[in-house]
Structure 1
């Protein structure tokens, strides 16, 4: 009987590790020859961003934090920044498909997430787009996009975690290789 308990505990631990797995992020960046590496920065909504809400502020805050990590300073209230980082994000949902080969009520999805209903969870695609412009002449000096996918209901599909992961993957190693798409794990 105790062997069964140990086996059950081991299985539960391995499943919980799967549930917290963070999927990789696909990152593409473009920049001019030698973009700025320091200065004051303001993070703002990108024109045309469909959602200025609490969720948007989560993404904007994560982007601002990453710009600080690479050497930029947040602009003080009431002052004009040297640079403007425009931010937009989008979340979309698509069906993950039906597993007709199994009628089991419990399944473990790729990338984590335990599905007790037997019904496949949707895939949440989260995209982050950031443009860095020189305020003085509005010249875009850097631009990047990051994308990740996770099963609905998993931690990786939550906006806060997605915002942090996408921002870090996108801005880490700034400015990055221009025109190349990489995968960040």
Structure 2
């Protein structure tokens, strides 16, 4: 039996990481954003035009802003509004801004991993086994809980729509998300998708919008 221990320990080092990786990939979480919106009745889309402009004038003319502005414009066009040739000729100005913080550290503690004895012992929560020894989470031979830290970032966008004829504010909205990514080209389109879900929504309502891989959305009141 003593000579078999190195074999089983080597097998555990190989099998457990594969099992854990499979479980983590199966539990990938969809993108989630907290969305709050305030609105008055918007004009019916009967030829009204709009232009997307930066809330921060420093972003005007930037290629990055233009990319995100196109995402906003596509959503407005799907609502039935037409994109104006210039802000000066638009019936509505869509003021847009985006941001991300510098991140903050979070600490996560995972259970220790090891062997689970007994004939055809379980693979932790997955079931199955190998001979007399299975892989589980309760083996005193291996290390205890695994403590690790990682960085999370808070990203957000703001959207305001003004009527150019008299400057009346028609819509204000914010979408914010916490994630382990700080890549704005990936985050901003998802935030735009979230803020336009069931647009313009109920004024004063805050929702948790979940965007799934199959492009379906789920609305949850906060």
The question of a shared fold, defined as TM-score above 0.5 by the shorter chain, is answered with yes
Residue 64 (1) aligns with residue 89 (2)? no
Q: Is the 8 A contact 1:37 1:70 kept in 2?
A: no
Structure 1, unmatched stretches of 5+, are 105-117
Give TM-score scaled by structure 1 length.
0.72
What SS class does the counterpart of residue 137 from structure 1 fall into?
Answer: coil
Change (3 A) 1:62 1:6: farther
Q: Is the 8 A contact 1:58 1:159 kept in 2?
A: no
Greater gyration radius: 2
RMSD of aligned alpha carbons: 3.1
Change (3 A) 1:177 1:69: same
Which position in structure 2 is the counterpart of 1:175? Answer: 200
Cα distance in structure 1, aligned partners of 2:39 and 2:92: 14
Structure 1 moving runs of 4+ over 6 Å: 3-8
Q: 1:58: Cα distance to partner?
A: 3.0
Which position in structure 2 is the counterpart of 1:147? Answer: 176
Which of the numbers 162, 184, 187 marks the counterpart of 1:159? 184
Greater RCO, 1 or 2 (C-alpha within 8 Å, sep 6+): 1
Q: 1:40: Cα distance to partner?
A: 1.2
Q: Is the 8 A contact 1:28 1:181 kept in 2?
A: yes
Cα distance in structure 1, aligned partners of 2:89 and 2:37: 26
| Greater shift in the superposed pair: 34-43 or 55-64 | 55-64
Q: 1:119: Cα distance to partner?
A: 6.0
Cα distance in structure 1, aligned partners of 2:22 and 2:83: 41
Q: Is the 8 A contact 1:55 1:159 kept in 2?
A: no
Give TM-score scaled by structure 2 length.
0.61
Which of the numbers 68, 76, 83 marks the counterpart of 1:74? 83
Matches within 5 A, 1:30-179: 30-32=38-40, 34-38=41-45, 39-46=48-55, 48=56, 51=59, 53-76=62-85, 80-99=89-108, 120-152=149-181, 157-179=182-204
Q: 1:151: Cα distance to partner?
A: 1.0
Q: Is the 8 A contact 1:62 1:164 kept in 2?
A: yes
